[in-house]
């Protein structure tokens, strides 16, 4: 199965906006894109999910262009507590999640 | 409301021994999933229960792994006999009974070390 591709790591500073882009060139028509966050010694936690265009919730925005070959997670005004691994995932109609390598985000003071 | 819980949090066993991992999903969640991350690799899907039935077990690596969910509540994952390459973190997740594309709630994982 085709996996998603994203940067291995990113650094940012408190108060900045962080954008993490994910590539999924061969995404299936019935797949959605979902993002999860994981802290050390914890399981992944759902952030946001979308199919196309823009989705926004209280913690993030997700931009998926019309061709759906990529997506961008936007975290506004990050804080130190946002330091974590962020996974861009495909989810199919059977609710199976396909994990990639994740992006390790480090937020500095 | 309690989240997904997993027991034990850590397990250290010797090669050839048997280990049983337990997962208690969020109450009322019909869907239960097992995933694992072995050393240096990505998190991978193992299997999916809907209530007590195995909906998809395509990710189970071999017949040394046996998952059960009797009564459709908690689930166990038994590894027998354990091998060195089974070392890793085993995650359980649950989600409500809906048509799909549903948020999954993960437990903290069980770290398994096979010596």
Provide the domain limits for residue A47.
Answer: 9-108
CB under 8 Å to A104, separation ≥6 — which residues?
A: A8, A9, A10, A84, A85
Measured from the Cβ of residue B70, the count of other Cβ atoms closer than 10 Å reads: 9
Nearest-CA distance B4 → chain A (Å): 10
Instruction: Say how far apart CA A48 and CA A56 lie, in whole Å.
Output: 8
Q: Report the CATH number that the domain containing residue A61 is assigned in CATH.
A: 2.60.40.10
Nearest to A92 by CA among A44, A28, A25: A28
> Which residues of chain A neighbour B56 with C-beta distances below 8 Å?
94, 96
Instruction: Say how far apart CA B27 and CA B95 lie, in whole Å.
Output: 10
pLDDT in tens, chain B (115 residues): 689 999 999 999 999 999 999 999 999 999 999 999 998 889 999 999 999 999 999 999 999 999 999 888 999 999 999 999 999 999 999 998 766 788 999 999 999 999 9
How many alpha carbons fall within 13 Å on the CB side of residue B61?
Answer: 16
Instruction: Say how far apart CA B11 and CA B16 lie, in whole Å.
Output: 14
In this predicted structure, what is the pLDDT of residue B1? 65
Domains, chain B, with CATH or none: 5-114 (2.60.40.10)
Does A81 fall in a domain?
yes
In this predicted structure, what is the pLDDT of residue B97? 73
Nearest-CA distance B46 → chain A (Å): 10
Does A84 fall in a domain?
yes
Q: Please give the residue of chain B at the shortest CA–CA distance from A93.
A: B100
Nearest to A94 among B44, B56, B109 (CB): B56
Does A91 fall in a domain?
yes
Instruction: Give me the number of domains chain A comprises.
Output: 1
Confidence tier at A13 by pLDDT (50, 70, 90): very high
Instruction: Say how far apart CA A8 and CA B74 lie, in whole Å.
Output: 35
Q: Please give the residue of chain A at the shortest CA–CA distance from B106.
A: A43
Instruction: Say how far apart CA B40 and CA A67 lie, in whole Å.
Output: 32
Does A3 fall in a domain?
no
């Amino acid at each position: 199965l085709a996996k998603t591709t994203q940067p291995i790591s990113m650094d940012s500073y408190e108060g900045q906006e962080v954008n993490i882009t994910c590539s999924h060139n061969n995404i299936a028509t019935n797949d959605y894109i979902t993002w999860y966050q994981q802290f050390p010694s914890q399981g992944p936690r759902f952030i946001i999910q979308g199919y196309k265009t823009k989705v926004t919730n209280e913690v993030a925005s997700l931009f998926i262009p019309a061709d759906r070959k990529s997506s961008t997670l936007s975290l506004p005004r990050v804080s130190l507590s946002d330091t974590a691994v962020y996974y861009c995932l495909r989810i199919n109609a059977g609710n199976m999640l396909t994990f990639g390598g994740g992006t390790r985000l480090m937020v500095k003071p | 409301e309690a989240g997904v819980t997993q027991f034990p949090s850590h397990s250290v066993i010797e090669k050839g021994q048997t280990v049983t991992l337990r997962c208690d999903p969020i109450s009322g969640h019909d869907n239960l999933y097992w995933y694992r991350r072995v050393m240096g690799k990505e998190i991978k899907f193992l299997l999916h229960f809907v209530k007590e039935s195995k909906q998809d077990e395509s990710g189970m690596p071999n017949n040394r792994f046996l998952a059960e969910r009797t009564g459709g509540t908690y689930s166990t994952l038994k590894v027998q006999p354990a091998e060195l390459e089974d070392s890793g973190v085993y995650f359980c997740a649950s989600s409500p009974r809906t048509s799909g594309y549903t948020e999954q709630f993960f437990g903290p994982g069980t770290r398994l070390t096979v010596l």
